[in-house]
Structure 1
Protein backbone atom coordinates (compact mmCIF):
# COMPACT_ATOMS: atom_id res chain seq x y z
CA UNK A 1 0.00 0.00 0.00
CA UNK A 2 1.13 3.52 -0.72
CA UNK A 3 2.50 5.68 1.90
CA UNK A 4 0.18 8.08 3.56
CA UNK A 5 0.99 11.68 4.26
CA UNK A 6 0.52 13.13 7.68
CA UNK A 7 -2.81 14.45 6.54
CA UNK A 8 -3.83 10.87 5.64
CA UNK A 9 -3.90 11.47 1.79
CA UNK A 10 -2.19 9.01 -0.60
CA UNK A 11 0.37 11.00 -2.70
CA UNK A 12 0.34 8.70 -5.76
CA UNK A 13 -3.41 8.76 -6.01
CA UNK A 14 -3.35 12.51 -5.82
CA UNK A 15 -0.82 12.75 -8.68
CA UNK A 16 -2.92 10.46 -10.84
CA UNK A 17 -6.01 12.53 -10.36
CA UNK A 18 -4.10 15.70 -11.25
CA UNK A 19 -2.77 14.16 -14.48
CA UNK A 20 -6.27 13.10 -15.48
CA UNK A 21 -7.61 16.59 -14.88
CA UNK A 22 -4.80 18.13 -16.96
CA UNK A 23 -5.29 15.69 -19.80
CA UNK A 24 -9.00 16.29 -19.81
CA UNK A 25 -8.47 20.05 -19.84
CA UNK A 26 -6.06 19.77 -22.78
CA UNK A 27 -8.49 17.57 -24.66
CA UNK A 28 -11.32 20.00 -24.07
CA UNK A 29 -9.19 22.95 -25.24
CA UNK A 30 -8.10 21.08 -28.34
CA UNK A 31 -11.65 20.13 -29.18
CA UNK A 32 -12.82 23.69 -28.68
CA UNK A 33 -10.10 25.01 -30.97
CA UNK A 34 -10.90 22.47 -33.65
CA UNK A 35 -14.56 23.36 -33.42
CA UNK A 36 -13.73 27.07 -33.68
CA UNK A 37 -11.42 26.57 -36.66
CA UNK A 38 -14.05 24.49 -38.39
CA UNK A 39 -16.58 27.21 -37.85
CA UNK A 40 -14.45 30.00 -39.33
CA UNK A 41 -13.29 27.83 -42.19
CA UNK A 42 -16.90 27.16 -43.05
CA UNK A 43 -17.52 30.92 -43.25
CA UNK A 44 -15.35 31.21 -46.41
CA UNK A 45 -13.79 34.70 -46.20
CA UNK A 46 -13.84 34.64 -42.45
CA UNK A 47 -10.94 34.76 -40.07
CA UNK A 48 -8.17 32.20 -40.61
CA UNK A 49 -5.42 30.98 -38.34
CA UNK A 50 -2.06 32.69 -38.11
CA UNK A 51 -0.36 29.71 -39.75
CA UNK A 52 -2.78 29.76 -42.66
CA UNK A 53 -2.39 33.51 -43.01
CA UNK A 54 1.40 33.22 -43.01
CA UNK A 55 1.23 30.46 -45.62
CA UNK A 56 -1.03 32.54 -47.82
CA UNK A 57 1.34 35.52 -47.58
CA UNK A 58 4.30 33.37 -48.55
CA UNK A 59 2.45 31.96 -51.53
CA UNK A 60 1.46 35.47 -52.60
CA UNK A 61 5.09 36.61 -52.41
CA UNK A 62 6.20 33.64 -54.51
CA UNK A 63 3.59 34.42 -57.15
CA UNK A 64 4.67 38.10 -57.27
CA UNK A 65 8.34 37.16 -57.55
CA UNK A 66 7.54 34.75 -60.39
CA UNK A 67 5.49 37.44 -62.15
CA UNK A 68 8.32 39.98 -61.92
CA UNK A 69 10.81 37.42 -63.19
CA UNK A 70 8.61 36.62 -66.19
CA UNK A 71 8.15 40.35 -66.90
CA UNK A 72 11.90 40.96 -66.81
CA UNK A 73 12.50 38.00 -69.12
CA UNK A 74 9.89 39.31 -71.55
CA UNK A 75 11.43 42.81 -71.65
CA UNK A 76 14.90 41.38 -72.32
CA UNK A 77 13.53 39.26 -75.17
CA UNK A 78 11.80 42.27 -76.73
CA UNK A 79 14.98 44.37 -76.54
CA UNK A 80 17.05 41.59 -78.14
CA UNK A 81 14.50 41.30 -80.93
CA UNK A 82 14.68 45.05 -81.63
CA UNK A 83 18.48 44.98 -81.81
CA UNK A 84 18.52 41.97 -84.11
CA UNK A 85 15.93 43.41 -86.49
CA UNK A 86 17.53 45.43 -89.36
CA UNK A 87 16.54 49.06 -89.50
CA UNK A 88 14.46 50.16 -92.45
CA UNK A 89 15.93 53.00 -94.51
CA UNK A 90 14.16 56.25 -93.92
CA UNK A 91 11.96 57.36 -96.75
CA UNK A 92 12.92 60.61 -98.34
CA UNK A 93 10.37 63.33 -97.91
CA UNK A 94 8.57 64.77 -100.90
CA UNK A 95 10.43 68.05 -100.47
CA UNK A 96 13.79 66.27 -100.91
CA UNK A 97 12.91 64.44 -104.10
CA UNK A 98 14.79 65.63 -107.16
CA UNK A 99 13.23 65.34 -110.59
CA UNK A 100 15.04 63.91 -113.59
CA UNK A 101 15.00 67.32 -115.26
CA UNK A 102 16.75 68.93 -112.30
CA UNK A 103 19.38 66.19 -112.29
CA UNK A 104 20.10 66.69 -115.99
CA UNK A 105 20.23 70.45 -115.50
CA UNK A 106 22.73 70.16 -112.66
CA UNK A 107 24.81 67.65 -114.65
CA UNK A 108 24.97 70.02 -117.61
CA UNK A 109 25.97 72.90 -115.34
CA UNK A 110 28.75 70.81 -113.77
CA UNK A 111 30.06 69.83 -117.20
CA UNK A 112 30.15 73.46 -118.33
CA UNK A 113 32.03 74.50 -115.21
CA UNK A 114 34.51 71.65 -115.69
CA UNK A 115 35.05 72.59 -119.33
CA UNK A 116 35.67 76.23 -118.40
CA UNK A 117 38.13 75.21 -115.70
CA UNK A 118 40.03 72.96 -118.12
CA UNK A 119 40.24 75.78 -120.66
CA UNK A 120 41.57 78.17 -118.03
CA UNK A 121 44.19 75.69 -116.83
CA UNK A 122 45.22 74.90 -120.41
CA UNK A 123 45.60 78.59 -121.17
CA UNK A 124 47.76 79.09 -118.09
CA UNK A 125 50.00 76.14 -118.98
CA UNK A 126 50.29 77.35 -122.56
CA UNK A 127 51.29 80.83 -121.43
CA UNK A 128 53.91 79.59 -118.98
CA UNK A 129 55.43 76.60 -120.82
CA UNK A 130 58.75 76.82 -122.71
CA UNK A 131 60.92 74.12 -124.19
CA UNK A 132 63.94 72.79 -122.32
CA UNK A 133 66.26 74.13 -125.05
CA UNK A 134 64.76 77.62 -124.74
CA UNK A 135 65.05 77.59 -120.95
CA UNK A 136 68.66 76.36 -121.05
CA UNK A 137 69.53 79.05 -123.57
CA UNK A 138 67.99 81.75 -121.41
CA UNK A 139 69.88 80.58 -118.33
CA UNK A 140 73.23 80.07 -120.05
CA UNK A 141 73.36 83.39 -121.94
CA UNK A 142 71.61 86.75 -121.66
CA UNK A 143 68.76 87.56 -123.98
CA UNK A 144 69.98 89.59 -126.97
CA UNK A 145 68.04 92.50 -128.38
CA UNK A 146 68.66 91.42 -131.98
CA UNK A 147 66.77 88.05 -131.67
CA UNK A 148 64.27 87.98 -134.53
CA UNK A 149 61.55 86.04 -132.66
CA UNK A 150 61.21 88.59 -129.84
CA UNK A 151 59.52 91.96 -130.20
CA UNK A 152 61.45 94.48 -128.15
CA UNK A 153 59.06 97.17 -126.97
CA UNK A 154 60.59 100.33 -125.54
CA UNK A 155 57.16 101.86 -125.07
CA UNK A 156 53.55 100.76 -125.14
CA UNK A 157 53.01 102.51 -128.46
CA UNK A 158 55.87 100.54 -130.04
CA UNK A 159 54.41 97.36 -128.58
CA UNK A 160 51.08 98.00 -130.29
CA UNK A 161 52.88 98.68 -133.55
CA UNK A 162 54.85 95.48 -133.15
CA UNK A 163 51.70 93.46 -132.49
CA UNK A 164 50.11 94.89 -135.60
CA UNK A 165 53.11 94.01 -137.76
CA UNK A 166 53.10 90.47 -136.36
CA UNK A 167 49.43 90.03 -137.22
CA UNK A 168 48.29 89.87 -133.60
CA UNK A 169 46.24 93.04 -133.62
CA UNK A 170 43.55 94.50 -135.79
CA UNK A 171 43.07 98.22 -136.22
CA UNK A 172 39.34 97.72 -136.38
CA UNK A 173 39.14 96.25 -132.90
CA UNK A 174 41.59 98.56 -131.08
CA UNK A 175 39.90 101.33 -129.14
CA UNK A 176 40.92 105.01 -129.56
CA UNK A 177 43.29 104.83 -126.55
CA UNK A 178 44.77 101.30 -126.51
CA UNK A 179 47.88 102.40 -124.66
CA UNK A 180 45.85 102.97 -121.48
CA UNK A 181 44.26 99.53 -121.45
CA UNK A 182 47.38 97.70 -122.67
CA UNK A 183 49.68 99.28 -120.08
CA UNK A 184 47.33 98.53 -117.18
CA UNK A 185 46.68 94.99 -118.39
CA UNK A 186 50.38 94.20 -118.76
CA UNK A 187 51.30 95.63 -115.36
CA UNK A 188 48.61 93.48 -113.72
CA UNK A 189 49.81 90.45 -115.72
CA UNK A 190 53.43 91.05 -114.71
CA UNK A 191 52.59 91.56 -111.05
CA UNK A 192 50.71 88.25 -110.89
CA UNK A 193 52.99 86.11 -113.05
CA UNK A 194 56.47 87.34 -112.04
CA UNK A 195 56.58 85.48 -108.67
CA UNK A 196 55.39 82.32 -110.40
CA UNK A 197 57.95 82.36 -113.21
CA UNK A 198 60.73 83.04 -110.69
CA UNK A 199 59.83 79.82 -108.90
CA UNK A 200 59.44 77.70 -112.04
CA UNK A 201 62.50 79.12 -113.85
CA UNK A 202 65.12 80.14 -111.27
CA UNK A 203 68.44 81.70 -112.27
CA UNK A 204 67.34 84.32 -114.82
CA UNK A 205 67.90 88.04 -114.66
CA UNK A 206 65.00 90.41 -114.09
CA UNK A 207 65.21 91.55 -117.71
CA UNK A 208 65.00 87.95 -118.93
CA UNK A 209 61.97 87.34 -116.71
CA UNK A 210 60.24 90.44 -118.07
CA UNK A 211 61.09 89.52 -121.66
CA UNK A 212 59.56 86.11 -121.08
CA UNK A 213 56.45 87.60 -119.50
CA UNK A 214 56.05 90.03 -122.38
CA UNK A 215 56.28 87.14 -124.82
CA UNK A 216 53.54 85.33 -122.91
CA UNK A 217 51.44 88.47 -122.69
CA UNK A 218 51.45 88.87 -126.49
CA UNK A 219 49.50 85.60 -126.79
CA UNK A 220 47.46 85.82 -123.62
CA UNK A 221 43.68 86.45 -123.70
CA UNK A 222 44.36 88.86 -120.85
CA UNK A 223 45.97 91.13 -123.45
CA UNK A 224 43.14 93.52 -124.45
CA UNK A 225 44.32 93.54 -128.09
CA UNK A 226 44.29 89.74 -128.27
CA UNK A 227 40.99 89.59 -126.41
CA UNK A 228 39.41 92.01 -128.87
CA UNK A 229 40.64 89.97 -131.80
CA UNK A 230 39.29 86.74 -130.30
CA UNK A 231 35.97 88.44 -129.70
CA UNK A 232 35.82 89.58 -133.31
CA UNK A 233 36.62 86.07 -134.54
CA UNK A 234 33.89 84.68 -132.31
CA UNK A 235 31.36 87.11 -133.74
CA UNK A 236 32.28 86.18 -137.30
CA UNK A 237 31.53 82.48 -136.73
Structure 2
Protein backbone atom coordinates (compact mmCIF):
# COMPACT_ATOMS: atom_id res chain seq x y z
CA UNK A 1 0.00 0.00 0.00
CA UNK A 2 1.23 3.39 -0.80
CA UNK A 3 2.44 5.70 1.83
CA UNK A 4 -0.24 8.03 3.14
CA UNK A 5 0.63 11.66 3.47
CA UNK A 6 -0.96 13.81 6.07
CA UNK A 7 -0.96 16.60 3.56
CA UNK A 8 -1.06 16.56 -0.19
CA UNK A 9 1.66 15.29 -2.41
CA UNK A 10 4.48 17.86 -2.76
CA UNK A 11 4.34 17.78 -6.57
CA UNK A 12 0.65 18.62 -6.60
CA UNK A 13 1.13 21.53 -4.22
CA UNK A 14 4.00 22.86 -6.38
CA UNK A 15 1.82 22.56 -9.48
CA UNK A 16 -1.05 24.39 -7.77
CA UNK A 17 1.27 27.18 -6.64
CA UNK A 18 2.65 27.58 -10.15
CA UNK A 19 -0.86 27.78 -11.58
CA UNK A 20 -1.85 30.28 -8.90
CA UNK A 21 1.17 32.52 -9.56
CA UNK A 22 0.57 32.33 -13.36
CA UNK A 23 -3.07 33.34 -12.82
CA UNK A 24 -1.99 36.18 -10.54
CA UNK A 25 0.55 37.43 -13.10
CA UNK A 26 -2.05 37.19 -15.86
CA UNK A 27 -4.62 39.03 -13.74
CA UNK A 28 -2.12 41.78 -12.87
CA UNK A 29 -1.19 42.14 -16.58
CA UNK A 30 -4.86 42.35 -17.49
CA UNK A 31 -5.51 44.89 -14.76
CA UNK A 32 -2.50 46.94 -15.92
CA UNK A 33 -3.77 46.92 -19.53
CA UNK A 34 -7.26 47.97 -18.41
CA UNK A 35 -5.89 50.84 -16.35
CA UNK A 36 -3.65 51.93 -19.27
CA UNK A 37 -6.63 51.80 -21.63
CA UNK A 38 -8.73 53.78 -19.13
CA UNK A 39 -6.14 56.51 -18.74
CA UNK A 40 -5.23 56.63 -22.44
CA UNK A 41 -6.34 59.84 -24.17
CA UNK A 42 -8.39 58.98 -27.27
CA UNK A 43 -9.27 62.55 -28.25
CA UNK A 44 -8.81 62.85 -32.04
CA UNK A 45 -8.12 66.58 -31.89
CA UNK A 46 -5.28 66.07 -29.45
CA UNK A 47 -3.86 63.29 -31.62
CA UNK A 48 -3.98 65.53 -34.71
CA UNK A 49 -2.42 68.37 -32.75
CA UNK A 50 0.38 66.09 -31.60
CA UNK A 51 0.87 64.81 -35.15
CA UNK A 52 1.07 68.37 -36.52
CA UNK A 53 3.56 69.29 -33.85
CA UNK A 54 5.76 66.33 -34.80
CA UNK A 55 5.54 67.24 -38.50
CA UNK A 56 6.50 70.84 -37.74
CA UNK A 57 9.50 69.64 -35.75
CA UNK A 58 10.58 67.44 -38.66
CA UNK A 59 10.22 70.35 -41.12
CA UNK A 60 12.17 72.63 -38.81
CA UNK A 61 14.96 70.08 -38.48
CA UNK A 62 15.06 69.69 -42.27
CA UNK A 63 15.21 73.46 -42.74
CA UNK A 64 18.04 73.78 -40.23
CA UNK A 65 19.94 70.98 -41.97
CA UNK A 66 19.37 72.65 -45.35
CA UNK A 67 20.56 76.01 -44.01
CA UNK A 68 23.69 74.43 -42.60
CA UNK A 69 24.36 72.69 -45.93
CA UNK A 70 23.84 75.94 -47.86
CA UNK A 71 26.16 77.75 -45.49
CA UNK A 72 28.87 75.15 -46.06
CA UNK A 73 28.42 75.39 -49.84
CA UNK A 74 28.61 79.19 -49.68
CA UNK A 75 31.79 79.07 -47.64
CA UNK A 76 33.34 76.61 -50.11
CA UNK A 77 32.36 78.78 -53.04
CA UNK A 78 33.63 81.96 -51.41
CA UNK A 79 36.97 80.33 -50.65
CA UNK A 80 37.24 79.26 -54.30
CA UNK A 81 36.64 82.78 -55.61
CA UNK A 82 39.65 85.02 -55.87
CA UNK A 83 39.33 87.96 -53.56
CA UNK A 84 39.34 91.45 -55.01
CA UNK A 85 39.90 92.66 -58.54
CA UNK A 86 43.13 91.93 -60.28
CA UNK A 87 44.68 95.25 -61.32
CA UNK A 88 45.49 95.51 -65.02
CA UNK A 89 49.16 95.41 -65.88
CA UNK A 90 50.77 98.82 -66.08
CA UNK A 91 51.31 100.19 -69.55
CA UNK A 92 54.55 101.80 -70.49
CA UNK A 93 54.76 105.15 -72.22
CA UNK A 94 55.89 103.44 -75.41
CA UNK A 95 52.82 101.17 -75.48
CA UNK A 96 50.48 104.13 -74.99
CA UNK A 97 52.19 106.09 -77.78
CA UNK A 98 51.99 103.10 -80.14
CA UNK A 99 48.20 102.80 -79.67
CA UNK A 100 47.71 106.55 -80.11
CA UNK A 101 49.78 106.74 -83.28
CA UNK A 102 47.90 103.95 -85.08
CA UNK A 103 46.22 105.52 -88.11
CA UNK A 104 42.46 105.61 -87.79
CA UNK A 105 40.51 103.85 -90.51
CA UNK A 106 38.32 105.97 -92.66
CA UNK A 107 34.93 104.29 -92.55
CA UNK A 108 33.66 106.15 -95.58
CA UNK A 109 36.44 104.84 -97.80
CA UNK A 110 36.11 101.34 -96.41
CA UNK A 111 32.45 101.01 -97.39
CA UNK A 112 32.59 103.09 -100.56
CA UNK A 113 32.62 100.01 -102.84
CA UNK A 114 29.42 98.59 -101.38
CA UNK A 115 26.27 100.58 -101.91
CA UNK A 116 23.45 100.25 -99.44
CA UNK A 117 20.14 99.03 -100.76
CA UNK A 118 17.13 101.24 -100.21
CA UNK A 119 14.81 100.48 -97.34
CA UNK A 120 11.68 99.10 -98.96
CA UNK A 121 9.56 100.05 -95.96
CA UNK A 122 10.31 103.74 -96.46
CA UNK A 123 9.77 103.96 -100.22
CA UNK A 124 6.75 106.18 -100.91
CA UNK A 125 4.05 104.35 -102.83
CA UNK A 126 2.89 106.15 -105.92
CA UNK A 127 -0.81 105.67 -106.30
CA UNK A 128 -3.77 105.23 -104.04
CA UNK A 129 -3.60 103.51 -100.67
CA UNK A 130 -6.25 101.60 -98.82
CA UNK A 131 -6.13 101.12 -95.06
CA UNK A 132 -9.44 99.35 -94.54
CA UNK A 133 -11.56 96.79 -96.34
CA UNK A 134 -14.11 99.34 -97.56
CA UNK A 135 -11.36 101.57 -98.95
CA UNK A 136 -9.81 98.58 -100.72
CA UNK A 137 -13.14 97.64 -102.33
CA UNK A 138 -13.73 101.19 -103.54
CA UNK A 139 -10.13 101.36 -104.82
CA UNK A 140 -10.53 98.16 -106.83
CA UNK A 141 -13.54 99.63 -108.57
CA UNK A 142 -16.21 97.84 -106.66
CA UNK A 143 -19.26 99.56 -105.30
CA UNK A 144 -18.24 101.28 -102.09
CA UNK A 145 -20.62 100.16 -99.43
CA UNK A 146 -21.59 103.04 -97.20
CA UNK A 147 -21.89 101.73 -93.69
CA UNK A 148 -24.97 103.08 -91.99
CA UNK A 149 -23.88 103.68 -88.43
CA UNK A 150 -27.32 104.48 -86.95
CA UNK A 151 -30.12 102.69 -88.84
CA UNK A 152 -32.39 102.75 -85.78
CA UNK A 153 -32.84 106.52 -86.20
CA UNK A 154 -34.67 106.00 -89.51
CA UNK A 155 -36.56 102.91 -88.40
CA UNK A 156 -39.66 104.63 -87.02
CA UNK A 157 -40.33 106.70 -90.15
CA UNK A 158 -39.69 103.72 -92.43
CA UNK A 159 -42.08 101.55 -90.39
CA UNK A 160 -44.88 104.10 -90.53
CA UNK A 161 -44.51 104.37 -94.34
CA UNK A 162 -44.49 100.55 -94.62
CA UNK A 163 -47.54 100.31 -92.36
CA UNK A 164 -49.52 102.83 -94.42
CA UNK A 165 -48.78 100.91 -97.60
CA UNK A 166 -49.33 97.33 -96.35
CA UNK A 167 -52.11 97.74 -93.75
CA UNK A 168 -54.95 98.07 -96.28
CA UNK A 169 -53.61 95.10 -98.28
CA UNK A 170 -53.52 92.87 -95.18
CA UNK A 171 -57.04 93.95 -94.13
CA UNK A 172 -58.45 92.96 -97.51
CA UNK A 173 -56.58 89.62 -97.44
CA UNK A 174 -57.75 88.80 -93.87
CA UNK A 175 -61.15 90.47 -93.23
CA UNK A 176 -62.00 88.21 -90.26
CA UNK A 177 -58.98 89.31 -88.16
CA UNK A 178 -59.04 92.16 -85.66
CA UNK A 179 -56.85 95.23 -86.17
CA UNK A 180 -54.36 94.18 -83.45
CA UNK A 181 -53.91 90.78 -85.14
CA UNK A 182 -53.39 92.43 -88.52
CA UNK A 183 -50.82 94.79 -86.98
CA UNK A 184 -48.99 91.81 -85.45
CA UNK A 185 -48.81 90.16 -88.88
CA UNK A 186 -47.64 93.46 -90.34
CA UNK A 187 -44.88 93.76 -87.72
CA UNK A 188 -43.68 90.19 -88.43
CA UNK A 189 -43.47 91.04 -92.13
CA UNK A 190 -41.64 94.27 -91.27
CA UNK A 191 -38.93 92.31 -89.41
CA UNK A 192 -38.06 90.50 -92.67
CA UNK A 193 -38.81 93.32 -95.12
CA UNK A 194 -36.12 94.84 -97.32
CA UNK A 195 -37.35 98.36 -96.43
CA UNK A 196 -36.36 97.80 -92.78
CA UNK A 197 -33.11 99.78 -92.20
CA UNK A 198 -31.95 97.16 -89.68
CA UNK A 199 -31.95 94.53 -92.46
CA UNK A 200 -29.89 96.62 -94.88
CA UNK A 201 -26.59 95.84 -93.19
TM-score by shorter chain over 0.5: no
Larger Rg: 1
TM-score (norm 2): 0.25
Q: Which has the larger helix fraction?
A: 1
TM-score (norm 1): 0.21
Greater RCO structure (CA 8 Å; 6+ sep)? 1
